[in-house]
Chains A and B, each alone.
Chain A
Amino acid sequence: MEEVKVIGFWASPYVYRVTWALNLKGVEYEYQEEDVFNKSDLLLQYNPVHKKVPVFVHGGKRIAESTVILEYIEETWPQNPLLPTDPHARAMARFWTKFGDDKKPDFFGFFKSAGEEQIKAAKEAQECLKILEEHGLEDKKFFDGDKIGMTDLSLGWLAFWLEAMEGAAGVQVLDVNSFPRLHAWIRNLKEVPVIKENHPDQTRLLAYFKWLREMYTKPATT
């Protein structure tokens, strides 16, 4: 069988999308940890355009960008499909995955800011979350239907990472009263065995985000 390798970083939700997908499909792979604050020559060689993780290697060929990797994994290992069969439903899965990624600055603004700016940023994040809950998730168990799919993996950062970022930033955006359906979805997601057994340690993640936030909110020195 050809070599399958993931080059990743322990705190990256983008990397987890890929490892979750491989685990859900029962594909064996080798994992290589990368220090993204001290990038290796290998990473720069494997992803010269973006210099980021995850990078996926299969039979010597490299692919970067987590959503591109997910589509590749889905096509190469069709068991336990991550996309629905119906073409319109597939389009919806891709639409919501793109929404989550395109709105990243709006979602994360609150984490990088403080004071008045943070209040405004938190409101913007909540507007995006409201759209996700009311138009994306609606009354479904998972974003793509009854079982976990590509959209759920792409939005998986809401389940583990957001809590740690809220803790580090001292503000709650995803409160259960405003977002009952998203909270129910998070509970369902965390119960899926592959997800339950594969996620970053919360304590370590909180410490990491506290450290990151200090870097972002440190006053600039001239």
Chain B
Amino acid sequence: MAQVTLFGFWPSPFVYRVIWALKLKGVDYEYVEEDMLYNKSDRLLKYNPVHKKVPVLVHAGKPIAESAVILEYIEETWPQNPLLPKDPHGRALARFWTKFGEDKIPALFGFFMTEGEQQVTATKEGQEQLRILEEQGLGDKKFFGGDEIGMADLEFGWLAWWLEVLSEVAGVKVIEAESFPRLYAWIQRFKEFPTIKETLPDRSAMLTYFKGRRATFLALAAS
């Protein structure tokens, strides 16, 4: 089988989407940790000259960047344990919500990059998007993908583990059981799912890392 290599960075939820997809499909891969803050490798810059970011998946020597693009590639190349439903409209809905997750990143992360009055506004904006996600995206389903984890669940996986850490660091509560009952229930199901549960970054390491990131963002905003 051709070599599969994933270039990643341990705190990145974008990288974890790809790791989860490969693990759910039982695909063996080599993982290469990149120092994204201070010392990107020559190989990364060669494989992703346009964005210079992780994740990058290299399969049989050919690189692919952008987690959403990588997920589609993984789905087409290793069709076992599909991440997209068979029916075309169901696939369109999965892609629609995946794209919603991509496009709403600034709104959803705003609370983490701000403080004071700005943070109050940013948190509300993020919660408006989460309300749409809960009511129209998830609805009463077990997972975004239906009965099984799908592409949209991987897209929003950061809500299940990263959000709690970011909320603690930023000092705001974004999702609570009372305010977002269905998303909250989905979070519990997602992070208890065996493959996912075994594949999450260390929480205390994340706390330290994201405390540092928030300090950097706020300092930059103030300068």
B49 pairs with A91, CB closer than 8 A:
no
Least CB distance, B7 to chain A, in whole angstroms: 15
Query: Which of B73, B91, B92 meets A87, CB within 8 Å?
Result: B73
Binds A, one of B95-103, B114-122, B138-146, B197-205: B95-103
- In the complex, are the beta carbons of A49 and B92 less than 8 A apart? no
Judge whether A72 and B91 touch: CB under 8 Å: yes
* Number of B positions contacting A (CB below 8 A): 25
Q: Which of A48, A68, A92, A131 gathers most chain B CB within 10 Å?
A: A68
Sorting the interface of chain A by its residue count into under 10, 10 to 19, 20 to 34 or 35 or more gives: 20 to 34
Q: Which residues of A contact B69 (CB under 8 A)?
A: 91, 94-95, 98
Identify which of B18-26, B31-39, B60-68, B172-180 touches chain A.
B60-68
User: CB distance A87 to B76 under 8 Å?
Assistant: yes
Main SS of chain B's interface residues? helix
Q: A68 to chain B: closest CB distance in Å?
A: 5
Per-residue contact bits, chain A 53-82, to B (CB 8 Å; 1 contact, 0 not): 000001001011101110110011000000
Given contacts A49-B132, A63-B89, A68-B92, contact A95 B65 (CB under 8 A): yes
Q: Is the CB of A71 within 8 A of B136?
A: no
- Partner among B64, B66, B68, B100 whose Cβ is within 8 Å of the Cβ of A88: B64
- Complex Cα distance, B99 from A68, in Å, reads 8
Instruction: Report how far A174 CA is from B69 CA in the complex, Å.
Output: 28
Measured between beta carbons, the chain B residues less than 8 angstroms from A72 are: 88-89, 91-92
Minimum Cβ distance to chain B for residue A88 (Å):
5
Q: Mark B63-107, 1 if CB is under 8 A from A, else 0.
A: 011101110110011000000000011011101100110000000
Q: Residue-by-residue, is B31-58 near A (CB-CB < 8 Å gives 1, otherwise 0)? A: 0000000000000000001100000000
Give the chain A neighbours of B91 by CB distance below 8 A: 71-72, 75
Q: Are B49 and A49 in contact (CB under 8 A)?
A: no
A196, CB-defined interface residue at 8 Å: no
Could you tell me the dominant secondary structure of chain A's interface residues? helix
Docked-complex contact A61 and B89, CB < 8 angstroms: yes
Is A99's CB within 8 Å of the partner chain B? Answer: yes
Given contacts A71-B91, A90-B73, 16 further A-B contacts (CB under 8 A): A48-B136, A49-B100, A61-B89, A63-B89, A65-B95, A71-B95, A72-B88, A75-B88, A75-B91, A76-B88, A90-B76, A91-B64, A91-B69, A91-B73, A92-B64, A98-B66
26 contacts between A and B (CB under 8 A): A48-B136, A49-B132, A49-B136, A58-B89, A63-B89, A63-B92, A64-B96, A65-B99, A68-B99, A71-B95, A72-B88, A75-B91, A87-B73, A87-B76, A88-B64, A90-B72, A90-B73, A91-B69, A91-B72, A94-B66, A94-B68, A94-B72, A98-B68, A131-B50, A135-B49, A135-B50
Please give me the 3 A-B residue pairs with the lowest Cβ-Cβ distance, nearest first: A91-B73, A91-B64, A72-B92
